[in-house]
């Protein structure tokens, strides 16, 4: 078996596992840096590796548009193209059809849309989403799901959810590569019953992994947690569970606590490019005057490239519009996320995950209380 998920230990609902793929193993819970266009923005592939990342994410939608999946296939597949020899998961494009493409129209057969790059009219069906991902050669391919804007009428949410299940079955039927696992995507908005129903329908199709989609799209952290509270127990325990597009450090710990194994999010990279650094004492905004002569690194014990420099230097780089500012803060934030989950894995192994989580949350909140910066919980991480 090229794909295998081993559950080593649970601590409450939190899970410590290993996800085995043809390109190596991933210690879970794990965070996947986002490499949308066959590159994690601002970093060389060695730098991505040095953050501690074991698995990364690429995007079907973007790569099919540019450079085109045939180019990547002809160049030996996505791993070789971008120089990453570890596991890769590719998103299916379902979310980008909702968030990025223009004039998206969904029929039972397929979604049609206009490219956000040149406006050309294109189509994406479940079969085509899998064909693209097989050409890319990712280890994990996501099924094409029907993502809708929330809030929406109940029947609209249910219709998209049911289509997502039918499309998942079509994706599964379209698979031809044994070295690629498909993960199904659970939809259903914020409706607990629909979410659980969707989970059980998809579980019957016996996918090697399951994802929770349609979250982190504007709902509150409490609403997200309520969905996870009902969905996680309904998800197959012996398969990896992936929460898509989430989220803040606190979101991650909230979800790990409920049994999620895999994450991806642009938050560490995008915020890094915008001069926001994640720390155990909450976010630091590096453009602020307060850092002008601050000799301290972002975090004393952080092994990243940014923390070899002073906050004063990092601030200067952003004010002077030097690319090195985004580069260094991206490396710091991804390192922060990897350390957060590495420490979470250790805490689960030692049966003290809740204690670990509460200490982290306290640290993030203390900063708000002590220096009155504009980082209020629960949105303090929204940057």
Is 93 a binding residue for a second copy by CB under 8 A? The answer is no
Q: Does 324 bind a second copy (CB under 8 A)?
A: yes
Q: In the complex with a second copy, which residue's Cβ is closer, 57 or 232?
A: 57
The CA–CA distances, whole Å, from 97 to 104, 236, 243, 314 equal 6, 28, 19, 36
- Shortest CB 264 distance to a second copy, Å: 18
Q: Is 313 an interacting residue with respect to a second copy (CB under 8 A)?
A: yes
Residue placing its CB nearer to a second copy in the complex, 313 or 381: 313
Give the residue, chosen from 100, 175, 319, 342, that forms a contact with a second copy under the rule CB under 8 A: 319
Is 264 one of the annotated active-site residues of the chain? yes
By CB under 8 A, is residue 326 in contact with a second copy? yes
Angle at 379 between CA 95 and CA 101, to 5 degrees: 20
DSSP 342-366: HHHHHHHHTT-HHHHHHHHHHHHHH
Choice from 111, 141, 157, 305 touching a second copy (CB under 8 A)? 305
Cis check: omega of the bond before 247, within 30 degrees of 0:
yes
The nearest distance, CB 254 to a second copy, in angstroms, is 31
Q: Does 293 bind a second copy (CB under 8 A)?
A: yes
Instruction: Please identify which of the residues 11, 139, 145, 264 carries the catalytic annotation.
Output: 264
Q: What is the footprint of a second copy within residues 15-44 (CB under 8 A)?
A: 37-39, 41-44
Among 328, 151, 358, which residue's Cα sits nearest to residue 253? 358
In eight-state DSSP terms, residue 64 is: H
Is 191 known to be catalytic?
A: no
Which of the following is catalytic: 91, 139, 261, 280?
91
CA neighbours closer than 13 Å in the CB half-sphere of residue 191: 19
327 binds a second copy (CB under 8 A): yes
Sheet holding 209-212, edge to edge: 30-32, 262-264, 241-243, 209-212, 181-186, 140-142, 88-91, 56-59
Q: What does residue 306 show for φ and ψ, rounded to 5 degrees?
A: -70, -35
Cβ nearer to a second copy, comparing 260 with 317: 317
Q: Return d(Cα 134, Cα 123) in angstroms, integer.
A: 17
Tell me: does residue 323 bind a second copy (CB under 8 A).
yes
Question: Is position 328 an interface residue for a second copy (rule: CB under 8 A)?
Answer: yes
Cα 45 from Cα 251, distance rounded (Å): 26
Q: Interacting stretch for a second copy, rule CB under 8 A, among 17-25, 144-152, 311-319, 343-351?
A: 311-319
**Which two structure tokens, joined as six digits, stand for 179?**
């070295």
3-state helix, strand, coil in the chain (%, to 5): 45, 20, 40
Binding interface with a second copy (CB under 8 A)? 37-39, 41-44, 46, 62, 66-67, 71, 74-76, 81-83, 292-293, 295, 305, 308-310, 312-313, 315-317, 319-320, 322-324, 326-328
Where in the sequence numbering do the catalytic residues fall?
91, 264
């Amino acid at each position: 078996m090229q794909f295998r998920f081993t559950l080593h230990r649970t601590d409450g609902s939190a899970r410590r596992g290993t996800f085995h793929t043809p390109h190596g193993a991933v210690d879970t819970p794990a965070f996947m840096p986002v490499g949308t266009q066959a590159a994690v923005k601002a970093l060389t592939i060695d730098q991505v590796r040095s953050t501690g990342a074991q698995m990364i994410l690429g995007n079907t939608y973007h790569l099919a548009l540019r450079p085109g999946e045939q180019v990547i296939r002809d160049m030996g597949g996505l791993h070789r193209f971008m120089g990453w020899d570890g596991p890769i998961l590719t998103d299916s494009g379902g979310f980008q059809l909702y968030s990025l493409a223009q004039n998206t129209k969904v029929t039972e057969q397929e979604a049609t849309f206009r490219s956000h790059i040149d406006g050309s009219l294109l189509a994406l069906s479940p079969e085509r989403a899998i064909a693209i991902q097989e050409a890319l050669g990712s280890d994990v391919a996501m099924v094409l799901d029907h993502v809708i804007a929330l809030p929406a009428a109940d029947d609209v949410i249910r219709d998209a959810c049911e289509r997502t299940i039918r499309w998942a079955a079509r994706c599964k039927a379209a698979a031809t590569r044994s070295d690629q696992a498909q993960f199904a995507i659970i939809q259903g908005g914020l409706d607990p019953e629909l979410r659980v129903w969707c989970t059980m329908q998809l579980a019957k199709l016996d996918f090697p992994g399951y994802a929770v989609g349609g979250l982190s799209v504007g709902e509150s952290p409490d609403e997200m947690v309520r969905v996870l509270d009902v969905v996680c127990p309904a998800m197959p325990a012996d398969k990896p569970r992936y929460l898509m597009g989430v989220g803040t450090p606190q979101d991650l710990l909230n979800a790990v606590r409920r049994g999620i194994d895999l994450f991806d999010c642009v938050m560490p990279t995008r915020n890094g490019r915008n001069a926001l650094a994640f720390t155990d004492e909450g976010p630091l905004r590096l453009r602020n005057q307060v850092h002008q002569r601050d000799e301290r690194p972002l975090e004393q014990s952080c092994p990243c490239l940014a923390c070899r420099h002073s906050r004063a230097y990092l601030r200067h780089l952003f004010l002077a519009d030097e690319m090195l500012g985004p580069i260094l803060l991206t490396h710091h934030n991804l390192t922060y996320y990897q350390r957060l989950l590495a420490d979470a894995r250790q805490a689960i192994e030692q049966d003290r995950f809740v204690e670990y989580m509460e200490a982290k949350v306290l640290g993030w909140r203390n900063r708000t209380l002590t220096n009155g910066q504009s980082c209020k919980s629960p949105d303090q991480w929204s940057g």
